[in-house]
Structure 1
């Protein structure tokens, strides 16, 4: 997905929302900010100390209890700003 070729409308927040990125295996986590979000992905901001963020797949926790979360994959990076696409699980047959 190229930046700008968005398939679904995004909701931009006037004040970014605090969230957490957690590795798939749960061994590391990073604080982040959600700048905008859609059905298919989001634009996130990382603190300066996380400038070497290298996870390709991770969970985005949108609530402090982890109830609202999305599995993500990294699609673009620009400094401390990243674009992620939500990974949808295949329906069970």
Structure 2
């Protein structure tokens, strides 16, 4: 099991539009093989930043999702709403509790 964490900074005023597109994107992930869960987080001290946490069975499943039509449609909607590129980190899950 793999967790991917992505940090982005949004342009001022674009937060509602970006959040709506990301919610659509994350909803589409629930239909993909290998998807296990996700979260969209807003840091309390930085309301124009976002952290996306996704958990997948494999990194290959996550990469396949990036070719999905729904993913590509949200990419178009989100284009230009971020300040610079996002930063992504991968983690192997060694323990999980709910």
Say whether the fold is shared (TM-score over 0.5): no
- Higher relative contact order (CA closer than 8 Å, sequence separation 6+): 2
Higher helix share: 2
The structure whose Rg is larger is 2
Higher strand share: 1
TM-score normalised by the chain length of structure 2: 0.29
